[in-house]
Amino acid sequence: GVIVVGSITADITTFSERLPEPGETLLGTAVTLALGGKGANQAVAAALAGANSFLVGCVGTDLFSSLVLTGLTGYGVDITEVRDVNDSTGVAHIRVDASGENDIVIVPMANSHLGAEQVDAAFVSLAGRASVLLTQLEVPASVTMHAIRAGSAAGLTVLLDPAPATALDPGIWPFVDIVTPNETEARILTGIAVVDETSAEEAGRWFCDRGVRSALITLASVGAVLVTTDDVVRFPAFPVTAVDTTAAGDAFAGYLGAALADGLSLADAIRRAMAAGALTVTRRGASPSLPSRSDVEELLAD
Ligand code: ADP
């Protein structure tokens, strides 16, 4: 199985011809309300991939709490380790224009209550049921850092999707088995401008030099580059027509974690994750755009 320590939000998305100027009020064309948050999305992707998927996170005691919890259980995510806290459920307010350009404001609320004690308690109660840990940076960074160290000590394969990117404790890297930044995150963390596969290799080496086992830089429609201490492998993307790139990275991380928990080799797991990322960009939305395992297998077999 897979344990995901991360954020849970209700995503309120409005669609309009163009995004408003500062101070302007616009009439939009549509609105959706859906389960989101990087932690929740990755847990859903891992569940869709067929893994036992355990989410560790926090929701509030408001109306949105039942929306996100119903969403999670509907996808088969185990929410035993999701706590109700005395705050509002986190919200992401997303605006999308006709070209697919977006801007996002995330208000963490309940997500900021996730603490190291909750992570420790979850690792104890889930002991023996998972071999992979997925982490991101939408919950307090200190909690993600704690989960990485504790997960590593517990013998889990530890993945860090460093999104949204922020400066991190430089001592964390030896505890990370696989780091999966996109171009922007790789640049913020390494200071190397990642614009192509060659610069991605350079950024990948930066992580390996600091103790990461495998650095997997994702390059959207170009694919991904895997850098380990003694090898570099370039993985070309599956050619698809992108309509909305939201959650591609979450599909990638969730499917990658599930494939590793299933015992696939890293190269096979990466191909599976890339197929999932590719299918996600062909559909609108975050969690609603995450692909089924059968769709992923079909694309892999093509
Ligand atoms: P993020 O969503 O974190 O920015 P990426 O955009 O790099 O991450 O996407 C993650 C993975 O999903 C990529 O490595 C690639 O395999 C797949 N992917 C993303 N966008 C596309 C695309 N336009 N065409 C094909 N595959 C894509």
Question: What would the pLDDT profile of 182-222 be if each residue is shown by its tens digit?
Answer: 999 999 999 999 999 999 999 999 999 999 999 999 999 99
Specify the residue with its C-alpha closest to ligand 1, atom 20: 220
Q: How far is the CA of 151 from the centre of ligand 1 (A)?
A: 27
Please tell me the distance from the alpha carbon of residue 234 to that of residue 240, in angstroms, as a whole number. 18
Q: How far is the CA of 261 from the centre of ligand 1 (A)?
A: 22
Could you give the count of Cα atoms lying within 13 Å of 94 in the half-sphere of its Cβ?
26
- Find, among 269, 274, 268, the residue nearest to 291 by Cα: 274
Could you give the count of Cα atoms lying within 13 Å of 181 in the half-sphere of its Cβ?
28
| Mean pLDDT score, 92-121 | 94
pLDDT score at 244: 85
Q: Considering the entire predicted model, what is its pTM?
A: 0.97
Which alpha helices (DSSP H) does 92-182 contain, by range?
116-125, 141-153
Question: What would the pLDDT profile of 52-100 be if each residue is shown by its tens digit?
Answer: 999 999 999 999 999 999 999 999 999 999 999 999 999 999 999 998 7
Domains contained in the chain, CATH given: 2-8+37-90+108-301 (3.40.1190.20)
Q: Under a CB-based contact definition with an 8 Å cutoff, are residues 170 and 210 in contact? A: yes
pLDDT score at 7: 98
Please tell me the distance from the alpha carbon of residue 23 to that of residue 31, in angstroms, as a whole number. 20
40 is in an annotated binding site: yes
Task: Provide, for the chain, the percentages of residues in helix, strand and coil under a 3-state DSSP scheme, each rounded to the nearest 5.
Answer: 40, 25, 35
223 is in an annotated binding site: no
